[in-house]
Amino acid sequence: MHIAIMSRNKNLYSTNRLKEAAEARGHEVKVIDPLKCYMNINMTSPSIHMKGEDLPKFDAVIPRIGASVTFYGTAVLRQFEMMGVHPLNESVAITRSRDKLRSLQLLSRKNIGLPVTGFANKPADIPDLLDMVGGAPCVIKLLEGTQGIGVVLAETRKAAESVIEAFMGLKANIMVQEYIAEAGGADIRCFVIGDKVIAAMRRQALPGEFRSNLHRGGSATIVKLTPEERSTALRAAKTMGLNVAGVDILRSKHGPLVMEVNSSPGLEGIEKATGIDVADKIIQFIEKNLKKGSAKTKGNG
């Protein structure tokens, strides 16, 4: 197969591992920076160009689209889909998962466990908003934030009101969530491929920190999932329409609660914590499921 990996940096661990795994299985791989692509959109022969030339024909594309380039990156991926290239994750599913508010609404509709979440846009609504999530402490999140950036733990009601007012004053979109104290600053990353959770790790925040992201110094260890946690992760990925996803779960007294469904989950932490060759499993999944022009959306949505 000829496989394209959409990534802004060919030296990233995840990009490198996917390239190595694909080449080890006999495939030809090209890493493509989506921001260096431009598109010819027409009725008969849509194409993607880079540096004045058409890109070669690919059988499959692996999107590794960073949150900051979601709009343009998914536009390029839609163009691949319109050209009949098989996407590992479809553009519409990536766009859906990147909208934190929409993704939570979709998960809620499927009765998947979530932290109680409030959303408003007027300072006058703040008191009721805080009451809805159980008051302080609570977690305040920027909708556009990633890797723990733009996430604040407000330990008192006054602090929560001040932070929310500040964000609203900057015209930033935020949501407020209940704080799951029993999680103890830890969450579980479930790595889903197809209809299986192929690996899982527990991420623990540093002392005095509640964000468990590895980019923020958190540590990762292998963890055994309960049947309910496994089922929750699979249902969450399916709800988003993602073939490959990192589903982040909190262990609460009410059972597993989904925090986020990541459409471009990193491989470094999960591979090192579990010893599982996740990159190889992704390439095997593409081999088994490749059907040219099989994107359900055909570039729409």
DSSP-H helix ranges across the chain: 13-24, 70-82, 91-98, 100-109, 126-132, 157-169, 227-240, 268-274, 278-289
Find out whether 267 and 214 touch, Cβ atoms under 8 Å: no
Token pair recorded at residue 237: 């990925």
Percent with pLDDT over 70 in the chain: 91
Residue numbers in the known binding site are 141, 178-179, 187, 211-213, 248, 260, 262
Question: Tokens at residue 41, please?
Answer: 């959109």
Contact in structure between 205 and 212 (CB atoms under 8 Å): yes
Pairwise CA distance, residues 70 & 61, whole Å: 16
Q: Compute the mean pLDDT over every residue in the chain, rounded to the nearest whole number.
A: 91
Residue ranges at the known binding site for ATP: 141, 178-179, 187, 211-213
Question: What is the DSSP secondary structure assignment for residue 222, as one 8-state letter?
Answer: E
pTM: 0.89
Instruction: Tell me the per-residue pLDDT of 250-297, one tens digit each, with 9 for 90 and over.
Output: 999 989 999 999 999 999 999 999 999 999 999 999 999 986 445 555
The string of pLDDT tens digits covering residues 80-113 is: 999 999 999 999 999 999 999 999 999 999 999 9
User: Of the candidates 169, 125, 118, 180, which has an alpha carbon nearest to the alpha carbon of residue 143?
Assistant: 118
Cα–Cα distance for residue pair 48/56, rounded to 1 Å: 9
Structural domains in the chain, CATH included, are: 2-96 (3.40.50.20), 117-179 (3.30.1490.20), 182-284 (3.30.470.20)
Tokens of 141: 């999140």
pLDDT tens-digit map of 186-233: 999 999 999 999 999 999 877 666 665 655 557 789 999 999 999 999
DSSP bridge partners of 219: 204
Return the pLDDT at 146.
Answer: 61
Q: Is the pLDDT assigned to residue 60 strictly greater than 60?
A: yes
Could you tell me which residues are annotated as the binding site for Mn(2+)? 248, 260, 262
Q: Which residues are annotated as a binding site for Mg(2+)?
A: 248, 260, 262
